[in-house]
Amino acid sequence: MKLTQIERRTGLTREEFIENYLKPRRPVVFTDLIKDWPATQKWTFDWFRKNHGDLEVPLVDNHIHDPDKYFQNAATMPFGEYLSLIEKGPTDLRIFLFDIFKKIPELNADVQFPTIMDGFVKNYKFMFFGGQNSEVNLHYDMDCSNVFLSQFQTRKKIILFPPSESTRLYQHPFTVMSHVHPLHPDLERFPAFDKAQGYETILGHGETVFIPSLWWHYIKYVDGGFGLALRANDSVFTLLKGGMNLARHTVVDKGMNSLLGPKWKEWKENKAIERAQAMMA
């Protein structure tokens, strides 16, 4: 596997972004896209704990992507207790795809949708929280949006792969998932991954990574912390692709998993390996 550092830009204009990153589907790290957000200075562990610590939040664990546990919650916990937990050290409990703005509407005043492109989905602002060393498995987003992921207070490791690498990533058919671990790949089982080419960065406080539509991403929390994802669509194609993915997931994949259980998972794994072997031949 070969990883190239994601380009980092300060003062990137809308025109430059659209021409050099959005249109060609290239990732970039903005060092200053959210510098004027009140959240950048206000949102700390202590501030959330003091003002919203009693909020009951849903938690997921490392089984979130198991075929029989489609995004099921593992537990719930008061927000303040959870924040203290991830500050202390490693835990695999995460807050995943959490629309905290519906629970705490006043937080909307702390963020602003960028003008760097059109098409931001105003009703979907998701926050993610995790402890040190917790991981988000390699996948691409089902709705196929362009994603702007901003980090607060601490650091995340981001690894990205373009859609052209899907076969080398052993994508499971009818899903948006790969079972290859980018940091610890089993090359005996997944030999094609050795030739995969992607991008990486360490995302720090106040920085934003642009993840283009259909790009694969793996995320590891270097420190316990939190981030915010905004989504944007720049074409009808992304909306249609997202609808197709949702249909494949809810109708085909989920349905076949209910009917066949482990046999369906085995079929998907074998098909992913078969495709990768054909590429290597």
- Summarised one tens digit per residue, pLDDT across range 41-94 is 999 999 999 999 999 999 998 755 444 444 456 689 999 999 999 999 899 899
Predicted confidence (pLDDT) per residue in 212-241, tens digit: 999 999 999 999 999 999 999 988 888 888
Q: Assign 242 a pLDDT band (cuts: 50, 70, 90).
A: confident
Q: Which whole number is the average pLDDT over 28-34?
A: 98
Question: Residue 59 in contact with residue 231, Cβ under 8 Å?
Answer: no
**The pLDDT value given to residue 69:** 43
**The pLDDT value given to residue 281:** 80
The CATH number of residue 169's host domain is: 2.60.120.650
* 20 DSSP 8-state letter: I
Secondary structure string (H, E, C) spanning 243-274: HHHHHHHHHHHHHHHHHHCHHHHHHHHHHHHH
Domain span including residue 171: 2-280
| Average model confidence (pLDDT) across the chain | 93
pTM, two decimal places: 0.93
Q: How many domains does the chain have?
A: 1
**The pLDDT value given to residue 265:** 92
**The pLDDT value given to residue 70:** 46
pLDDT at residue 201 is higher than 60: yes
> Using alpha carbons only, what angle is made at residue 17 by residues 16 and 21, rounded to the nearest 5 degrees?
115
Q: What percent of the chain has pLDDT over 70?
A: 95
**The pLDDT value given to residue 72:** 52
Higher pLDDT, 184 or 244: 184
> Residue length, the chain?
281
**All residues at 6 or more sequence positions from 128 whose CB lies less than 8 Å from its CB, including other chains:** 94, 95, 96, 97, 98, 136, 226, 227, 228, 229
**The pLDDT value given to residue 246:** 85
Predicted confidence (pLDDT) per residue in 94-125, tens digit: 998 889 999 999 999 999 999 999 999 998 89
**The pLDDT value given to residue 61:** 83
DSSP characters for 149-214? EEEESS-EEEEEE-GGGTTTTTBPTTSSBB---SSS--TTT-GGGGG-EEEEEEE-TT-EEEE-TT
**The pLDDT value given to residue 98:** 87
Q: Assign 155 a pLDDT band (cuts: 50, 70, 90).
A: very high
